[in-house]
Amino acid sequence: MKNFNEIEFEKAFGTANQLAKSNFPEIVFAGRSNVGKSSLINKICNRKNLARVSATPGKTITINFYKAKGFRLVDIPGYGYAKAAKMEQIRWRNLINGYFGMHRNIHFLFLLIDIRHPPSNEDIIMVDMLNALAIPFTFVLTKIDKTAKTKMAAQVNYVISFFNLKKTIKHIPFSAITGQGTNEIKSTINEVLKQ
Ligand SMILES: Nc1nc2c(ncn2[C@@H]2O[C@H](COP(=O)(O)OP(=O)(O)OP(=O)(O)O)[C@@H](O)[C@H]2O)c(=O)[nH]1
Ligand SMILES: [Mg+2]
């Protein structure tokens, strides 16, 4: 098993042309603003403040790299934050398109979706882009601690059937509070890095 306890923040990039060379496999975390990307990174790295978490959407506005032994974790800024200024949304789009368009060594992507909300247009665009680029990915259904156990199955099924065409794609229920799903995410990373 890879060591997740010695991961360090490496660098933040605000524009695509600044991005560091992709000389290690990259494991990416993406999803709309406030879905819990930074919280998930902290959880799997067993740290409190490695990635900054905020109750206000739009906290992570740069692509943040975290360096591990032989691979990198990449925190992509959250999309779909409607209140962000137009210029900021354009910068975000250029940053993301730049990141995915430069033939980086992207090994795997976790697409986070809040289990309580229907997937957004941006989620659909992201899934289409991942398929077009043949980037393997898995859904992570976040904040499951906020859902009553009795409603869980129905909500999971809703999200799965929403992406009907991609039934084969795995989904991992996750909570940064209870830690549920942490080991599954870590072992998924472990598996993809072996390939
Ligand atoms: N109850 C609960 N709250 C969570 C969970 N994960 C994240 N949160 C809360 O949701 C808010 C957003 O979390 P972040 O980790 O900052 O979300 P993000 O996706 O990194 O957001 P941006 O950086 O804005 O894109 C914070 O208030 C977190 O404490 C979870 O599993 N359960
Ligand atoms: Mg964040």
| Selection from 100, 118, 122, 101 nearest residue 109 by Cα | 100
- Expressed in angstroms and rounded, the spacing between residue 144 Cα and the centre of ligand 2 is 18
> Which residue's CA is the closest to the ligand 1 atom numbered 13?
36
> pLDDT-based confidence at 98, cuts 50/70/90?
very high
pLDDT at res. 81: 62
Domain count, the chain: 1
In a domain, 2, yes or no: no
In a domain, 18, yes or no: yes
pLDDT at res. 167: 55
Is 34 a pocket residue for ligand 1 (Cβ < 6 Å)?
A: yes
In a domain, 3, yes or no: no
Q: Which domain holds residue 185?
A: 8-194
Q: Which ligand is nearest to the CA of 79?
A: 1
For residue 68, give the 3-state DSSP assignment.
strand
In a domain, 87, yes or no: yes
CA distances from 88 to 35, 93, 131 (A): 19, 9, 26
Would you say residue 110 has pLDDT above 80?
yes
As a whole number of angstroms, the distance between CA 150 and CA 156 comes to: 11
As a whole number of angstroms, the distance between CA 61 and CA 50 comes to: 15
- Expressed in angstroms and rounded, the spacing between residue 100 Cα and the centre of ligand 2 is 18
In a domain, 180, yes or no: yes
> pLDDT-based confidence at 186, cuts 50/70/90?
very high
- CATH code for the domain of 126: 3.40.50.300
Q: Which of 9, 49, 54, 113 to mutate to test the pocket of ligand 1 (most atoms within 8 A of CB)?
A: 54
Q: Which of 29, 33, 39, 114 to mutate to test the pocket of ligand 1 (most atoms within 8 A of CB)?
A: 39
Is 38 a pocket residue for ligand 1 (Cβ < 6 Å)?
A: yes
Q: Which ligand is nearest to the CA of 55?
A: 1
* Chain segment 13-59, per-residue pLDDT in tens: 988 888 988 999 999 999 988 899 999 999 999 998 898 887 776 66
- Expressed in angstroms and rounded, the spacing between residue 86 Cα and the centre of ligand 2 is 20
Residue 85: how many CB atoms within 10 A of its CB? 8
In a domain, 190, yes or no: yes
Atom number in ligand 1 closest to CA 78:
25
In a domain, 131, yes or no: yes
Atom number in ligand 1 closest to CA 39:
15
pLDDT at res. 169: 66
